Amino acid sequence: MQNFKVDEDNDGARLDRWTKRFLPDVPHSMLNRMLRKGQMRVNGKKVEANFRLKKGDEIVLKGGLLGEWETNKSGTGKKKRPKGERAEIDDVKADPQEMIKDFEKLIIFENNDYVIINKPSGLPSQGGTGIKVSVDDMIGAVSERYKLVHRLDRDTSGVLAIAKKTTAAAAFSKLLQNKETTKIYWALVRGVPPKMKGVIKLSLAKRGDKMEKVEVDDADGKKSITEYTVIERLGKEMSWLELSPITGRTHQLRVHCAAIGCPIIGDGKYGGADAFDKGLSNKLHLHARRLVVKQLGIDVTAKLPPHMKSIEPNV
């Protein structure tokens, strides 16, 4: 058993970010398991990874999955892998300084209140089971005050905004709620829509044991609206679409495109075999191209990722 006291410098820090600082070898997936099993507690209580710590809080680490961890306040640590633990734990390298460097390479806009990055495909916005590093982890290494103000799916690339302080995050969130922001996506899809411009109005509902899939459900689904424009036709086989989500449902663009017979290339989940092409990457061809928030002086465009750039539209 190990005990830690939260000092003044970490007053207000999230537990997962405190862990990255003082237990750098503990990946987010293991932290979540420890918390679920009560092997890490704060003031004797089970909490979640986003729990906000206060000065004087006592963090207690017990045995079990944790094993014998040797830690110190300098941010270094060594571990012995418990018997039966997955070998991948030893491969996790989420060094805070490296994360800061990687994050800085992604920045395409910055002012006093916001940082905007061009998120690569495959990098999750937030952590979770099996995720080694997320954007949330990266910004936590930069500053405890940084906050994601919206999210992108793991496999969607492009514009992602981060607020540098709470007041900036609140301002952005309010504009999102009032639909005073403009998000524009580019997608390479199979086929060509019947009209060059149109509006897709199909209600969506989550399905599955873990609510991991979204389906069109006009009876019980939530109102979902997407505007689209065909920006280039590649014969009859494929086309480039500009997509503007009026609502922000999970997987909305992917499901809406598939529903009109134009699945996004690389989206096997909703498009099946039609979503793949021998001459193209199997990665999802969906990119958050532009973000406009006039009230905040933001108008940012993100370049296409390498797997989409080889077939970039002529616009």
Enumerate the H helices of the chain as residue ranges: 15-22, 28-36, 88-91, 96-106, 135-142, 166-177, 252-259, 268-271, 306-309
> How far is residue 93 CA from its own chain's centroid?
19
For residues 242 and 235, the answer to whether their CB atoms sit within 8 Å is no
Structure tokens at 199: 């509006």
Do 197 and 261 lie in a common domain? yes
**Which stretch of DSSP H or E encloses residue 142?**
helix 135-142
Average pLDDT score over residue span 30-45: 85
pLDDT, averaged across the chain: 85
Residues 85 and 113 in one domain: no
Q: What is the pLDDT of residue 63?
A: 56
Average pLDDT on 259-280 reads: 93
Instruction: Please tell me whether residues 197 and 297 are part of one structural domain.
Output: yes
Tell whether 12 is covered by a domain. yes
Higher pLDDT, 86 or 140: 140
223, 293: one domain:
yes
CATH number at residue 120: 3.30.2350.10
- How many other C-beta atoms are found inside a 10 Å radius of the C-beta of residue 299? 12
Q: 3-state DSSP call for residue 285?
A: coil
Q: What is the pLDDT of residue 68?
A: 36
Residue 133 has pLDDT above 80, yes or no: yes
pLDDT of res. 114: 97
Same domain, 147 and 221: no
Tokens of 3: 């005990």
Task: State whether 246 and 200 are in the same domain.
Answer: yes
Q: What is the C-alpha to C-alpha distance for residues 298 and 161, in angstroms, rounded to an integer? A: 10
3-state secondary structure of 169: helix
Does residue 94 surpass a pLDDT of 70? no
Token pair for residue 226?
């997407």
Q: Can you give the pLDDT at residue 77?
A: 35
Residue 314 lies in a domain: no
Q: Hey, which of 54-58, 131-135, 175-179, 250-254 has the most confident mean pLDDT?
A: 250-254
Residue 37 lies in a domain: yes
End-of-domain residue from the set 91, 116, 138: 91
Is 70 within the bounds of a domain? yes
Does position 279 have pLDDT exceeding 50, yes or no?
A: yes
- Segment among 29-38, 196-205, 289-298 with least mean pLDDT: 29-38
The per-residue pLDDT for 33 is 77
Domain membership flag for residue 27: yes
**Boundary of a domain, candidates 24, 58, 91:** 91
User: Are residue 160 and residue 210 in the same domain, yes or no?
Assistant: no
Q: Is 109 a member of any domain? A: yes
For residues 228-233, average pLDDT:
96
The confidence score (pLDDT) of residue 15 equals 87
Highest mean pLDDT among 42-51, 81-90, 157-166: 157-166
Residue 101's pLDDT is 85
Look at residues 106, 139, 174 and tell me which one is the last residue of a structural domain: 174
Cα separation, 152 vs 157, in Å, equals: 7
State both tokens at 306: 């390498």
Average pLDDT score over residue span 148-174? 95
- Among the listed residues 44, 20, 45, 43, the one whose alpha carbon sits nearest the alpha carbon of residue 30: 20
- Does the pLDDT value for residue 199 go beyond 70? yes
Please tell me whether residues 116 and 143 are part of one structural domain: yes
Pairing of strands 40-42, 58-61: antiparallel
Distance of CA 202 to the CA centre of its chain: 24
Is the model's pLDDT at 241 over the cut of 70?
yes
For residue 26, the domain's CATH number is: 3.10.290.10
Q: Which residue has the tokens 């009230």?
A: 295
116 and 140 in a common domain: yes
Residue 44 located in a structural domain: yes
The pLDDT value given to residue 113? 95
Averaged over 173-184, what is the pLDDT?
94
Q: Which two tokens stand for residue 313?
A: 């539209």
Band of residue 128 on the pLDDT scale cut at 50, 70, 90: confident
Q: Based on the domain organization, do 197 and 262 belong to the same domain?
A: yes
Q: Are residues 140 and 161 in the same domain?
A: yes
Residues 6+ apart with CB under 8 A from 176: 149, 150, 248
**Cα(first)–Cα(last) distance of the chain, in Å?**
61
Enclosing domain of residue 75: 2-91
Of these residues, 11, 95, 153, 274, which one is catalytic? 153
Active site residue 136: no
Model confidence band, residue 245 (pLDDT cutoffs 50, 70, 90): very high
Asked if residue 315 belongs to a domain, the reply is no
127 plus 53 within the same structural domain: no
Q: What is the pLDDT of residue 176?
A: 92
Q: Which residues pair with 240 in a beta bridge?
A: 188, 232
Nearest CA among 299, 264, 285 for reference residue 182:
299
Quote the pLDDT of residue 92: 29
Residue with more model confidence, 115 or 85: 115
Domain count, the chain: 3
Mean pLDDT of 127-135: 82
